[in-house]
Amino acid sequence: MVRRIIWIILVLQLVCAAAYAGDPARDLAVAGLVEPSGIDQSLVLDIRYATENNFTGRRVYPSARCFLRADVAKRLLGVQKDLRGQGLGLKAYDCYRPFSVQEAFWRIMPDERYVGKPARENGVIVKSSRHNRGAAVDVTLVDAHGKELPMPTGYDDFSDKAHRNSPAAAPEARRNSLALERAMQAQGFEPLPTEWWHFDGPGWEAYEPLDLPLPADH
């Protein structure tokens, strides 16, 4: 029943968002993306690409907002609900990412272990990141006060230390990473082997890649 109510709320949010005055938010809503933090405000956002605290050293998003496909958002909220029962929660680093941003990232870090290679043919997107589909999320664990738990590395650490099962991880960090992985998998998410923070929503292949811009801050 609770999950059905969450789903109804997400759909209502989708419909209401279509009426936004701002074109970017309306376009994302029409494409089927919603903001999970609008449903559950206990979800902590630290959208790094809306700051200079990321591997590019530049702000590349106009706002620190998280958009996901409705089903992916519903599953993420399921994870958050389960974690709250343990005195924990999620912090999101990245959600939907416009394809043009993916192209910029590839120019900086052309390594498919960490950045999905983007490709266009005759102007049509033929290869993209799951983030470009609104079907992937980068997250970590926080305690009841919103403080991050120790993890194997920092976010966007493009090294072997960030890989799952890395022997370099401290015992506490390893336990936390496994706890995050289990919580996400319980809701159907698929972990990326080379990044402890990256998870793909099930059925991501069914969603088309998008190059819709993110809206500015409210």
**Catalytic residue positions?**
195
Alpha helices in the chain (DSSP H): 2-17, 23-30, 70-84, 99-108, 171-185
Q: Which two tokens stand for residue 33?
A: 């993306």
SS3 173: helix
Q: Which residues are paired to 124 by β-bridges?
A: 121
How many angstroms separate the CA atoms of 71 and 202, rounded?
9
CB–CB of 174/42 below 8 Å? Answer: no
Q: In one letter, which amino acid is 105?
A: F
